[in-house]
Amino acid sequence: MQKLIINGGKRLCGEIRVQGAKNSALPLLAGCLLTDGRTVLKRCPELTDVFAACRILNELGCKCSFRQGTATTDADSAAGFRITEELMREMRSSIVFLGAVLGRHGRCELSYPGGCELGPRPIDMHLSALRQLGVKIHEEHGRISCTCPRGLKGASISLPFPSVGATENIMLAAVCADGDTVIHNAAREPEITDLANFLVRCGADIKGAGCSTVRISGVKKLRGCEYDVMPDRIAAATYMAAAASTGGELGLTDISCDDLQAVTSVFEEMGAAVYSAGSRIFISCKAPLKAVRIIRTMPYPGFPTDAQAVVMAALTTARGSSMMVENIFESRFRHVDELVRMGADIKVSDRTAVIQGVKKLCGANVRAHDLRGGAALTIAALGAEGTSSVGCVGYIDRGYELIENVLSSVGADIRREF
Residues that bind ligand EPZ (CB under 6 A): 23, 26, 92-93, 116, 121-126, 161, 163-166, 187, 305-306, 328-329, 371-372, 399
Least distance from ligand EPZ to the Cβ atom of residue 214, Å: 15
Q: Is 347 annotated as a binding residue?
A: no
Question: Closest separation between CB of residue 103 and ligand EPZ, Å?
Answer: 18
Catalytic residue among 54, 62, 108, 116: 116
Which residues face 353 on adjacent strands?
Answer: 324, 348
Q: How far is the CB of 308 from ligand EPZ (least distance, A)?
A: 9
Q: At residue 263, what is the residue type? A: V
- 3-class SS at 337? helix
Nearer to ligand EPZ, 26 or 384 (CB): 26
Helix (H) or strand (E) holding 223: strand 222-223
Q: How far is CA 313 from the centre of its chain?
A: 19
Work out how close the CB of 169 gets to ligand EPZ at its nearest, in angstroms, rounded to a whole number: 9
Q: How far is the CB of 210 from ligand EPZ (least distance, A)?
A: 14
Tell me whether residue 299 or residue 363 sits nearer to ligand EPZ (CB atom). 299
Tell me if 263 sits within 8 A of 233, measured CB to CB.
yes
- Report d(CA 148, CA 131) in Å as an integer: 9
Query: What phi, psi does 248 have (nearest 5°)?
Result: -100, -170
Residue 280 CB-density burial (10 A; 0-12 exposed, 13-18 middle, 19+ buried): middle
**Distance separating alpha carbons of residues 335 and 379, to the nearest angstrom:** 12
Return the beta strands (E) in 263-358 as ranges: 273-277, 280-284, 294-296, 321-325, 345-349, 352-356
Alpha helices by DSSP H, listed for 94-232, are 96-105, 124-132, 164-174, 190-201
Task: Tell me if 99 sits within 8 A of 170, measured CB to CB.
Answer: yes
Task: Confirm or deny that 328 is annotated as ligand binding.
Answer: yes
116 classed as catalytic: yes
Residue number, 267 or 303, with CB nearest to ligand EPZ: 303
Closest approach of ligand EPZ to the CB of residue 187, in Å:
6
Other CB atoms within a 10 A radius of the CB of residue 79 amount to 11
Q: Give the nearest residue (CB) to ligand EPZ.
A: 165
Known binding residue 221? Answer is: no
Spacing of C-alpha 342 from chain mean position: 26
Task: Confirm or deny that 22 is annotated as ligand binding.
Answer: yes
Closest by Cα among 191, 195, 172, 224 to 62:
224
92 known ligand binder: yes
Q: Residue 229 has what DSSP assignment?
A: P
Q: Which of 261, 236, 262, 265 is nearest to 251 (CA)?
A: 236
Q: Are the beta carbons of 152 and 172 closer than 8 angstroms?
A: no
Compare residues 26 and 41 and give the one whose CB is closer to ligand EPZ: 26
Q: Which lies closer to ligand EPZ via its Cβ, residue 276 or residue 331?
A: 331
Question: Residue 126 or residue 215: which is nearer to ligand EPZ going by CB?
Answer: 126
- Detail the residues annotated as belonging to a binding site for phosphoenolpyruvate: 22-23
- Detail the residues annotated as belonging to a binding site: 22-23, 92, 306, 328
- Detail the residues annotated as belonging to a binding site for UDP-N-acetyl-alpha-D-glucosamine: 92, 306, 328
Active-site residues, by number, are: 116
